[in-house]
């Protein structure tokens, strides 16, 4: 049986929504300890890969085993490939039972209105019956394109965020919106819609902003935002919320023209195309031109304070200590992850940066990843296929096009709080399966073994671009 939730009164800022019960008492009795991103309560986060080309989502309960593939039909839904089932996924404990649940976005469903499916976790894994379906409140909104989470600055209140970058805000087509679902006990409370035109949010809604398309926790990236005459220069909004019913939200906007932020907002920079948050905040600027090097890319690093972003520095491949060099088309900053890593002689916050356009020797667009310490002496190293990572660098692989973090959180373990990283290689050809793609999981939780990367065990299928849509987890 499915549980359908419809948002009504979409013209209003605050929209009422009530989730039906989902047998909370029984679930709470079964799940005893929490681990971030674990759907079966075994203490280890479970990697997730969306495969919209196959209208599917793969869940890996084992580091080495084959995935469990979820499809709309298997969840009791009708669906077509145009739904883009799995274009965004998010591991999040919706019902408070300590087993993480899986939110699956289908932004193309219902003619582009969008849909979100919630599959609930249990001690035995995700339960394919009794899912909850949240339909989009608005036509053509692409509801379910991204997910995030925000907590109030003065209380323990928090909310789930669902992005709808295709939402038309008045005459501003595709201006975008976010829907806030406060966490209640248990489940989700009434939803409210926030746009750039909402009171307290910096800036204004303009056509093509796609607000809600790139989200990481309480940061919203708008890489297509025009800044003055600079088309697609990009912007990022830091959201701040206070307690209440409904929760009140304000937003602080940052661009490369903001005071203290390095650089200048320029056409095609795409500031905010990628976001990473964990004590620090990283903003990818893959379209940044540096000197004569077009689209070489950069990353802006901030300290993520409760109510603001505090400027730290801009990093590119010409920054002292960073391997490589700025080259046209590298697109350094296309993907970013920040987290706390435990590895051989290295327990520190690190920034991982994907550069899918990086040439490895004479191999064009093979792609690379750069690891940069954000404390101490800011050591940095480069990872490519065959050098620190499995596989072999090949033309057009685009290693590092996507990255996602998995929190290894188990109370009492010596690796508590450390991060592992999913690495997407969406253009990888595997045998005769052209553009089948693949995903590498880099575990970083052992002092003695250091970085432990290996390939996820999925079947190669032509044109799936496996790794283009990596599952995200509340960190």
pLDDT one-digit tens code per residue, 63-120 = 889 999 999 999 999 889 899 999 999 998 888 887 889 999 999 999 999 999 999 9
φ, ψ of residue 53 to 5 degrees: the values are -60, -25
**Cβ(355)–Cβ(297) below 8 Å:** yes
Integer Cα distance of 172 and 150 in angstroms: 26
Question: What pLDDT does residue 407 have?
Answer: 78
pLDDT band at 462 (very low <50, low <70, confident <90, very high): very high
Q: What are phi and psi of 110, to 5 degrees?
A: 55, 45
Minimum mean pLDDT among 8-17, 241-250, 317-326, 409-418: which range? 8-17
pLDDT grade, residue 17 (50/70/90)?
very low
The three-point CA angle 248-109-401 to 5° equals 80
Report whether 149 contacts 159 (CB < 8 A). Answer: yes
Reported confidence tier of residue 243, pLDDT bands at 50, 70, 90: low
Report the half-sphere exposure of 351 (CA within 13 A, side-chain side).
35
The partner residues of 336 in beta bridges, in order of sequence, read: 353
CA dihedral 263, 268, 273, 278 (to 10 degrees): 0
Query: What was the pLDDT predicted at 43?
Result: 76
CB of 136 within 8 A of CB of 114?
yes
**Confidence band of 414 (pLDDT split at 50, 70, 90):** low
Distance CA 473, CA 105 (A): 14
- Of 118 and 34, the one with more pLDDT: 118
Radius of gyration over alpha carbons of the chain, in Å?
Answer: 21
Residue-level pLDDT at 34: 55
Half-sphere exposure in the Cβ direction for 460 (13 Å, CA)? 15
Backbone angles phi, psi at 28, to 5 degrees: -60, -35
């Amino acid at each position: 049986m499915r549980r359908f939730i419809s948002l009504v009164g979409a013209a209003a800022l605050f929209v009422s929504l009530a989730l039906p019960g989902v047998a909370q008492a029984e679930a709470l009795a079964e799940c005893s300890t929490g681990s971030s991103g674990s759907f079966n309560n075994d203490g280890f986060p479970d990697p997730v890969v969306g495969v919209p080309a196959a209208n599917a989502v793969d869940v890996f309960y084992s580091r080495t085993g084959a995935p469990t593939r979820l499809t709309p039909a298997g969840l009791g839904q009708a669906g077509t490939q145009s739904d883009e089932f799995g274009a965004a996924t998010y591991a999040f404990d919706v019902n408070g039972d300590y087993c993480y649940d899986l939110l699956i976005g289908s932004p193309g469903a219902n003619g582009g209105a969008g849909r979100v499916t919630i599959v609930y976790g249990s001690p035995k894994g995700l339960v394919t019956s009794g899912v909850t379906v949240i339909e989009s409140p608005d036509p053509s909104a692409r509801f379910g394109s991204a997910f995030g989470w925000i907590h109030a600055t003065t209380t323990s209140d928090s909310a789930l965020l669902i992005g709808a970058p295709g939402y038309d805000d008045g005459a501003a087509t595709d201006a975008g919106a976010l829907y806030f679902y406060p966490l209640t006990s248990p489940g989700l409370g009434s939803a409210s819609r926030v746009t750039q035109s909402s009171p307290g949010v910096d800036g204004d809604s303009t056509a093509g902003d796609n607000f809600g398309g790139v989200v990481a926790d309480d940061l919203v990236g708008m890489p297509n935002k025009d800044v003055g005459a600079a088309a697609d220069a990009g912007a990022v909004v830091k959201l701040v919320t206070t307690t209440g019913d409904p929760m009140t939200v304000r937003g602080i906007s940052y661009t490369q023209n903001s005071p203290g932020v390095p650089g200048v907002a320029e056409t095609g920079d795409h500031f905010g195309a990628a976001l990473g948050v964990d004590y620090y905040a990283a903003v990818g600027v893959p379209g940044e031109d540096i000197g004569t090097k077009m689209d070489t890319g950069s990353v802006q690093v901030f300290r993520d304070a409760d109510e603001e972003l505090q400027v730290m520095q801009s990093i590119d491949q010409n920054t002292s200590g960073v391997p490589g060099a700025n080259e046209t088309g590298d697109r350094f900053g296309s993907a970013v992850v920040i987290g706390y890593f435990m590895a051989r002689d290295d327990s520190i916050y690190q920034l991982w940066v994907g550069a899918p356009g990086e040439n490895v020797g004479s191999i064009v667009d093979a792609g690379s990843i750069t690891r940069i310490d954000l404390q101490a002496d800011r050591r940095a190293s480069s990872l490519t296929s065959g050098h620190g990572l499995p596989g072999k660098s090949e033309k057009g692989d685009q290693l590092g096009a996507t990255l996602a973090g998995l929190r290894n959180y188990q109370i009492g373990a010596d690796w508590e709080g450390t991060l592992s990283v999913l690495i997407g290689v969406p253009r990888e050809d595997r045998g005769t399966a052209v553009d089948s793609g693949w995903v590498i999981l880099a575990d970083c939780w052992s002092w003695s073994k250091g970085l432990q990367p290996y390939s996820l065990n999925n079947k190669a299928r032509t044109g799936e671009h496996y790794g283009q849509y990596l599952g995200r987890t509340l960190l």
